[in-house]
């Protein structure tokens, strides 16, 4: 029996290299090996109060990018989170056994509070519960996520265990695991020398970026003044560039520039130019497919309708059993 995999991306604009290498690339590989559920998390995006006039356009963009990256709706279940209302009900039910203190201690909540102290809403606090509901709704075995989401997976396992203990059942999988094809979960750093690549940070390369925009962004990437002694440790900003190169460049290219760094002969302009061309080689074919798919209304409608039907079939089965376990019955 195939293992079940689930993951999604918030509908907050366009997808970047971090999304592609941290999630989408794995989605494409997994759809041939597992039963896959991939969704666009428009409910999750509401925590930051997006403009209602662009929310649907953002969903459309990400759906097009999913498909352009190689997700096949005949192989995987692709759906929009809000097309499956059962996830909201499961979030409510699981929330009865999630406590304010543990939610306030999550790294993501503390980070959001620090960045937006005037928007500390219940949705932000409940974010890990809704994410757990996304996963447990389809009884997933694996979730291909980036490093920053590992704590949310731990919360999912915690809530599953608590539910099973309280109701003396083994219904929910308590061993939901992260999945990646490498040794480590992939985290693509931003071009500004600080933290991960992210939409809100404005430090990313988007899958839909034109070639000239990619070159311009990469040439502005943060560096340092250069090594002053042979075999000096690589500084964080330069290591960030090498980390991106490890995702898009050939091994001999990376080795060449590392040797130049070690010998104090490196020219950061050459390093950035090479990185930009390697990113373009990765992104350009995807970008062309995105443009074609985004313009095809009929195809996008068919994909979302088929995905919603398959996802709700799975979701209804879970909700019916959760209701029964918790003692919620119809007359």
- Which band of pLDDT confidence, cut at 50, 70 and 90, is reported for residue 94? very high
The boundaries of every CATH 1.10.240.10 domain in the chain are 211-291
Each residue's pLDDT tens digit, 115-137: 888 889 999 999 999 999 999 99
Active site residue 112: yes
Active site residue 187: no
Which pLDDT belongs to residue 185? 59
| Active-site option among 3, 75, 168, 196 | 196
Q: Span 72-76, mean pLDDT?
A: 97
Q: What phi and psi, each to the nearest 5 degrees, are found at residue 6? A: -140, 140
Q: Is the pLDDT of residue 15 over 80?
A: yes
- What is 211-291's CATH topology? Tyrosyl-Transfer RNA Synthetase (1.10.240)
Each residue's pLDDT tens digit, 265-324: 999 999 999 999 999 999 999 999 999 999 999 999 999 999 999 999 999 999 999 999
Active site residue 220: no
| Active-site option among 199, 216, 217, 272 | 199
The boundaries of every CATH 3.40.50.620 domain in the chain are 4-187+297-326
Which pLDDT belongs to residue 147? 65
- Which band of pLDDT confidence, cut at 50, 70 and 90, is reported for residue 78? very high
Each residue's pLDDT tens digit, 135-164: 999 999 998 766 667 777 899 999 999 999
Q: What is the mean pLDDT of the chain?
A: 91
| Active-site option among 3, 112, 217, 258 | 112
SS3 letters across the chain: CCCEEEEEEECCCCCEHHHHHHHHHHHHHHCCCCEEEEEEEHHHHHHHCCCHHHHHHHHHHHHHHHHHCCCCCCCCEEEEHHHCCHHHHHHHHHHCCCCHHHHHCCHHHHHHHHHCCCCCCHHHHCHHHHHHHHHHHCCCCEECCCHHHHHHHHHHHHHHHHHHHHCCCCCCCCCCEECCCCCCCCCCECCCCCCECCCCCCCCCECCCCHHHHHHHHHCCCCCCCCCCCCCCCCHHHHHHHHHHHHHCCHHHHHHHHHHHHCCCCCHHHHHHHHHHHHHHHHHHHHHHHHHHHCCHHHHHHHHHHHHHHHHHHHHHHHHHHHHHHCCCCC
Q: Which CATH architecture has domain 4-187+297-326?
A: 3-Layer(aba) Sandwich (3.40)
Which pLDDT belongs to residue 182? 63
- Which band of pLDDT confidence, cut at 50, 70 and 90, is reported for residue 194? low
């Amino acid at each position: 029996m195939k293992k079940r995999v689930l993951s999604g991306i918030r509908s907050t604009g366009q997808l970047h290299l971090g999304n592609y290498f941290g999630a989408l690339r794995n989605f494409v590989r997994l759809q041939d090996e597992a039963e896959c559920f991939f969704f666009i998390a428009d409910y999750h995006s509401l925590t930051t109060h997006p403009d209602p006039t662009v929310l649907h356009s953002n969903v459309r963009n990400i759906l097009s990018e999913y498909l352009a990256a190689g997700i096949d709706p005949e192989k995987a279940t692709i759906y929009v989170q809000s097309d499956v209302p059962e996830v909201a009900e499961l979030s409510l039910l699981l929330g009865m056994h999630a406590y304010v203190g543990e939610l306030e201690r999550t790294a993501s909540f503390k980070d959001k509070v620090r960045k937006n102290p005037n928007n500390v809403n219940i949705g932000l606090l409940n974010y890990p519960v809704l994410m757990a509901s996304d996963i447990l709704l389809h009884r997933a075995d694996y979730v291909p996520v980036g490093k920053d989401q590992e704590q949310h997976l731990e919360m999912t396992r915690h809530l599953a265990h608590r539910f099973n203990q309280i109701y003396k059942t083994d219904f929910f999988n308590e061993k939901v695991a992260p999945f990646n094809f490498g040794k480590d979960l992939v985290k693509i750093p931003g071009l500004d020398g600080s933290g991960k690549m992210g939409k809100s940070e404005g430090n990313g390369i988007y899958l839909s970026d034109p070639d000239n925009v990619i070159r311009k962004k990469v040439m502005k990437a943060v560096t340092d003044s250069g090594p002053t002694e042979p075999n000096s440790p690589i500084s964080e900003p330069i290591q960030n560039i090498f980390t991106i190169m490890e995702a898009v460049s050939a091994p001999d290219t990376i080795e060449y520039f590392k040797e130049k760094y070690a010998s104090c002969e490196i020219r950061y302009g050459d390093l950035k130019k090479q990185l930009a061309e390697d990113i373009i080689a990765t992104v350009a074919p995807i970008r062309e497919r995105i443009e074609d798919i985004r313009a095809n209304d009929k195809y996008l409608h068919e994909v979302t309708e088929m995905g919603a039907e398959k996802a709700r079939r799975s979701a209804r089965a879970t909700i019916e059993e959760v209701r029964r376990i918790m003692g919620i019955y119809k007359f």
